[in-house]
Amino acid sequence: MEARSESAEVLTGPDGMPLGPGAYCPIPQATIHYFAPNQPPWLLRGIGQVPDQGLLWIDFERGRAQGWECWIEPILGVAIEPEHVEDAMADAHPSIFDGTPQYDILVFEGLGPGSAPLPIQTRCAAFFLFERVLVTVRTADSASFELAKQRLAAMRGRWPQTPLQLAHFVLDLMVDRYLAVRDRLDAEFTRLQDELLDPKHPMRDWRALLVGRREVRKLESLSEAQSEALDAWRRNSCFDWTPADEVRVRDLIEHVGRVRAHAGDLQRDLEAAVQLHFASLSHRTNEIMRIFTVVSVVFMPPMLLTGIWGMNFKFMPELEWRYGYPLALTAVFGVCIGMLVWFKRRRLF
């Protein structure tokens, strides 16, 4: 599917004819997709200038994209702000929107390639939207981008025709991965809570829930930044959006809001689980102390009796009585049994 080359080649169509005149410029380490009107996309090995019709998607992998702006600026005839280049090349960057009168830039954090729900790993991607050109800079292991390319290759009709539609197509897949991870987070936290509250086999390390709580708070903060970036993009874009474009981005914001709301619910559930854990520990401690108290009270009268009979006075008539010892034992055990029956009826244990 991919066709990459470091040699300079002119942008050509399926018939081999150039798509536009002018000097050409090679783009090393980039994947170039060309979307002709009402035609499936095909891969290009080089580009001279933006074609008169259709849509270009130039995708850079961040680890091999040093100096990418030097290749793009002559082709587009647009100067890219240095701080925007730094934002695009940053391995970790919060979701933000910014722009100029010539282009929009959206930095968006997506999930990492792993399938494990915890810890939550993210990969940021930068979207530069020009007139009929979308430039993306992302990590090589961005699962959403690879999935987007697979779906575009298998698509039959209704291909994206504008940079906004194409950016929305990729962003929608990135957000869908957040929606899909909710079930895995629910299952993981349910397991941890069950282990924590199991009276027979309690979790030895309750800090796992606190770690999960930090991860959920991270997800909530991440979703909040995503929502703000998308809303800022919708309100401050330098391009004129159609009503359909507005609906698409509002739908993305709504999906991100669902992830944020779910993260808030999970955080409250985890807080409640930790509180229940300590309440359960306190209850078990109280139960143990109550049993110890009952045992201590039950044995106090026998200890008093044995203490009295253990005195070494010379004149203690019961010590020489034939039935003194059996009577003493009967008195001791009778008192113990009587107090146990009394405590039981009072439901003290």
Rounded to whole angstroms, the Cα distance separating 155 from 153 reads 6
In the prediction, which pLDDT does 201 show? 62
| 43, 125, 170, 71 alpha-carbon torsion, rounded to 10° | -30
Cα distances (Å, whole numbers) of residue 74 to 24, 51, 59, 262, 271: 10, 14, 17, 45, 55
Cβ atoms of 38 and 52 closer than 8 Å: no
The full set of domain ranges for the chain reads 30-279, 290-345
**Which homologous superfamily is 290-345 in?**
Magnesium transport protein CorA, transmembrane region (1.20.58.340)
Cα distances (Å, whole numbers) of residue 140 to 6, 63, 143, 240: 18, 7, 9, 32
Per-residue pLDDT at 168 exceeds 60: yes
Per-residue pLDDT at 167 exceeds 80: yes
Copy the structure tokens of residue 138.
């992302």
DSSP 44: E
Half-sphere exposure of 7 (CA within 13 A, CB side): 2
pLDDT tens digits for range 68-112: 998 889 889 999 999 999 999 999 999 999 989 999 999 999 998
One-letter amino acid for residue 188 of the chain = E
Rounded to whole angstroms, the Cα distance separating 326 from 24 reads 115
Rounded to whole angstroms, the Cα distance separating 11 from 9 reads 7
Per-residue pLDDT at 291 exceeds 50: yes
Cβ atoms of 160 and 166 closer than 8 Å: yes
- Three-class SS of residue 257? helix
In the prediction, which pLDDT does 189 show? 82
Domain range 30-279, CATH class: alpha beta
Rounded to whole angstroms, the Cα distance separating 41 from 55 reads 9
Closest CA to 230 of 256, 208, 260: 256
Higher-scoring residue by pLDDT: 220, 278:
220
Contacts for 276-279: CB closer than 8 Å, 24+ residues apart: 276/196, 276/197, 277/196, 277/197, 277/203, 277/206, 277/209
Rounded to whole angstroms, the Cα distance separating 242 from 191 reads 46
Cβ atoms of 46 and 122 closer than 8 Å: no
Query: Quick count: other Cβ atoms within 10 Å of Cβ 308?
Result: 12
Per-residue pLDDT at 4 exceeds 60: no
Higher-scoring residue by pLDDT: 137, 332:
137
Copy the structure tokens of residue 215.
């991860």
> What pTM does this model have?
0.75
Rounded to an integer, the average pLDDT of 14-38 is 61
Mean pLDDT of the chain: 83
Flag the least confident range among 113-117, 147-151, 231-235. Answer: 113-117
Phi, psi of 211 (to 5 degrees): -65, -45
Per-residue pLDDT at 288 exceeds 90: no
Rounded to whole angstroms, the Cα distance separating 283 from 202 reads 14
